[in-house]
Structure 1
Amino acid sequence: MAGVQLVGHGGLDQLHYRQDLPVPRPAAGEVLIRVGAAALNNTDVNTRIGWYSKAVTGDTNSGAAAGFAATVDADAGWAGAPLQLPRIQGADCCGEIVAVGAGVEPTRIGERVLVRTMQQAPGPGAAFGCITLGSECDGGFAQYCAVRADESFAVNCALSDVELASFPCAYSTAENMLERAGLKAGERVLITGASGGVGSAAVQLAKRRGACVIAVCGRDKMDEVARLGADRVIPRGADLVAELGRDSVALVVDLVAGAQWPELLELLQRGGRYAVAGAIAGPLVELDVRTLYLKDLSFFGCTYQPRAVFENLVRYIERGEISPVVARSYPLAEIVQAQQDFMAKKFVGKLVLVPPRET
């Protein structure tokens, strides 16, 4: 089959498109999916460049093309462990079940499915144990993907595979942040990085909950983000405290971090909440602990996702309560160009890869 292997941490040259990879065989409890489409995510780039290594302190884009010299392979995976290479990445996967392993009902053949990105770690493990599709197991950047049957969710709607592939990683991440932080109708929420995959998903999902949404994004993307439902859009780099005032929002959904981070805590009202699932502007921030405790703030680091988050997401899709935001699709063989466009950040929503249909 055709597929893309990540062979090491570093630049775009570590992505090898091949047409001679073996089609995986579904093991017991697994299904084989013919991949219809797989979207790009920040985690694909972060994993390739080894950004998760604690030795790296810069923003994602500073190493997105060539990688980081400081990366230590021993902790370059998102979970702080080495990545098993070569690896087929692709955290977003939409496709059709074409074969099943032992113990899986043959009636599932023919189902169109979405694969849960952040999966429950197999075995007893810890309460927050999880693995990521395309990181701890091969993902969707190939014609076929073998995955656990219980992590493959049937979806029934009129959306295309390309549109459906835009949902799993970004929307489940955003929904998990809102769920963990308990966003309620009528509350004011500030969303950073609102033009990206997770940010644009968070705008829609927060509006679905009846919140008042304030979005931050690049000036050239403000109109598009407003069309997604944001009640107010502020250009990236603006003085947020001057724009909104201190103690003015109940929740901050942050995907950026970086130098402007201290302003976010000033915006939070007393008893406010901060939820984070990304740090593309840089992972190291300056925290005045007095602000944290004197304002009785709550912080939520959001990686692990309960199964109900993805189950709810599928229901939202089937009921038409959220919409896909796809900027462009590419043949899988053009993954390097797609990642270059992804890193340029000149789009709103998601970029999606489409593998060749036949082996």
Structure 2
Amino acid sequence: MKAIVHQGEGLDGASYRDMVLADVGPGKVCVKLKAAALNHRDIWTCMRAEPAAPPCVLGSDGAGIVERVGLDVTDMSPGDEVVINSSQDWESREEVPLGEYNVGYKILGFPDHGTFAEYIIIGRHQLEPKPAFLDWREAAALCLVGITTYRALFTEGRLQTGQTVAIPGIGGGAATQALLFAKAAGAKVLVTSRDSTKLETARKLGADLAVASDDSWGQVVRDFTNGRGADIVIETIGEATWKQSIAALANGGRLVVFGATAGSLVEVDLASLFLHWQSIIGTTMGSRDEFREMLAFSEKHQIHPIIDRAFPLSEGVEALRYLNTARQMGNVVLDINI
């Protein structure tokens, strides 16, 4: 089968090539992929991979049609339309996985083969029915950013109707999905960006306030909320936005972190933190329970992920390079068998 595979160093190690498809073992399902979505994790995988590591099919997000099933799979049949939960073997929100990242807890696409391929062999428990209201591109794009932002907003952030959410660095798939989820939940949403076009798009998507990412946007959030600040700040940027994210946070607010694209080393004034009853919460991905809840929430509110650009699978390396420019507004996807 054809796939986008990484072996070597950096993005130069990614290539479009043939890979052998494994057998469908017990409890496994072969899915003919229709579309896959890119995430910054795919770029980080390329950048951090050991040069001597074996080839690995990239990609965490995907949607497709069941081709065949292995022994013991009795509740799924060829022809079923499915989406892939890339948060591997995490069943319940009540307990987070033990062990280190990529050892005790894994995300599809490294070290296990991922979705940038014509087919994937995956455990039955990692599949859910595709929401009928989404097209193939949207269904693929919803998976990783959907489960990540759903857990960040609702499980960790404890978002309630009428609260205020600040999202610095609007533009990527996760930040854009957080905007859509928060608005559907009845929140006021404030976003920032250095790109005026992205700010205008965010306003059209429902952002109540969209402002430039400068050295004072934290105060702008406070002014907009009559001095109170944001109940939740969704932080995916890190060092570049951290100071203003803290400045924007209300007393008792939750700063929920699941990314650090601009650096992971930041300073925290502990006295200010506890004197304002604030919380800094780290999270990544989510459980199977949350994935199912996220799909139901998206269907209830008819939430369509924003698709910025689609590439054919054969141009998957170019898609990775495009994502690395950070020019996108929403999700970048691969058309595979559409």
Provide TM-score, normalisation by structure 1: 0.84
The answer on whether the counterparts of 1:265 and 1:291 sit within 8 Å (CA) in structure 2 is no
How far is 1:119 from its partner? 2.1
1:353 corresponds in structure 2 to 334
Which secondary structure state, in structure 2, belongs to the residue aligned with residue 35 of structure 1? Answer: strand
The answer on whether the counterparts of 1:255 and 1:280 sit within 8 Å (CA) in structure 2 is yes
Match of 1:85 among 39, 46, 54: 54
Counterpart CA distance in 2 for 1:282 and 1:252 is 17
Which secondary structure state, in structure 2, belongs to the residue aligned with residue 260 of structure 1? Answer: helix
Stretches of structure 1 that go unaligned for 5 or more consecutive residues are 51-70, 77-82
1:270 corresponds in structure 2 to 251
The answer on whether the counterparts of 1:256 and 1:282 sit within 8 Å (CA) in structure 2 is yes
The answer on whether the counterparts of 1:331 and 1:356 sit within 8 Å (CA) in structure 2 is no
Residues 31 and 226 from structure 1, CA distance in 2 versus in 1: closer, same or farther, beyond 3 angstroms?
same
Stretches of structure 2 that go unaligned for 5 or more consecutive residues are 99-104
Tell whether 2:112 aligns with 1:137: yes
Which secondary structure state, in structure 2, belongs to the residue aligned with residue 282 of structure 1? Answer: coil
Number of residue pairs matched?
Answer: 323
Tell whether 2:10 aligns with 1:11: yes
Deviations 1:240-276 (A, max 9, x none): 1332236411111111111331221122121111101
Match of 1:195 among 171, 195, 216: 171
Tell whether 2:230 aligns with 1:230: no
Tell whether 2:66 aligns with 1:97: yes
Match of 2:289 among 302, 308, 311: 308
Counterpart CA distance in 2 for 1:106 and 1:268 is 46
1:243 corresponds in structure 2 to 220
> Counterpart amino acid of 2:36?
A
Which secondary structure state, in structure 2, belongs to the residue aligned with residue 5 of structure 1? Answer: strand
Tell whether 2:311 aligns with 1:330: yes
The answer on whether the counterparts of 2:131 and 2:139 sit within 8 Å (CA) in structure 1 is no
Match of 2:36 among 26, 35, 38: 38
1:64 corresponds in structure 2 to none
1:24 corresponds in structure 2 to 22
How far is 1:225 from its partner? 1.0
Which secondary structure state, in structure 2, belongs to the residue aligned with residue 94 of structure 1? Answer: strand
1:210 corresponds in structure 2 to 186
Match of 2:79 among 110, 114, 120: 110
Which secondary structure state, in structure 1, belongs to the residue aligned with residue 180 of structure 2? Answer: helix
Residues 319 and 269 from structure 1, CA distance in 2 versus in 1: closer, same or farther, beyond 3 angstroms?
closer
How far is 1:108 from its partner? 2.3
How far is 1:121 from its partner? 5.2
The answer on whether the counterparts of 2:169 and 2:237 sit within 8 Å (CA) in structure 1 is yes
When structure 1 is superposed on structure 2, of 177-186 and 22-31 the one drifting more is 22-31
Counterpart CA distance in 2 for 1:137 and 1:157 is 28
How far is 1:159 from its partner? 2.7
How far is 1:199 from its partner? 0.3
Match of 2:160 among 184, 192, 197: 184
> Counterpart amino acid of 1:89?
L
Counterpart CA distance in 2 for 1:118 and 1:107 is 20
How far is 1:131 from its partner? 1.6
Which secondary structure state, in structure 2, belongs to the residue aligned with residue 281 of structure 1? Answer: coil
Counterpart CA distance in 1 for 2:53 and 2:25 is 19
> Counterpart amino acid of 2:11?
L
> Counterpart amino acid of 1:12?
L
Residues 263 and 236 from structure 1, CA distance in 2 versus in 1: closer, same or farther, beyond 3 angstroms?
closer
The answer on whether the counterparts of 1:191 and 1:199 sit within 8 Å (CA) in structure 2 is yes
Counterpart CA distance in 1 for 2:30 and 2:205 is 35
Counterpart CA distance in 2 for 1:106 and 1:322 is 27
1:49 corresponds in structure 2 to 47
Which secondary structure state, in structure 2, belongs to the residue aligned with residue 201 of structure 1? Answer: helix
Counterpart CA distance in 2 for 1:33 and 1:111 is 9
Identity of aligned residues (%): 28
Residues 12 and 233 from structure 1, CA distance in 2 versus in 1: closer, same or farther, beyond 3 angstroms?
same
When structure 1 is superposed on structure 2, of 129-138 and 312-321 the one drifting more is 312-321
2:146 corresponds in structure 1 to 171
Counterpart CA distance in 2 for 1:134 and 1:190 is 30
The answer on whether the counterparts of 2:10 and 2:47 sit within 8 Å (CA) in structure 1 is yes
The answer on whether the counterparts of 2:239 and 2:262 sit within 8 Å (CA) in structure 1 is yes
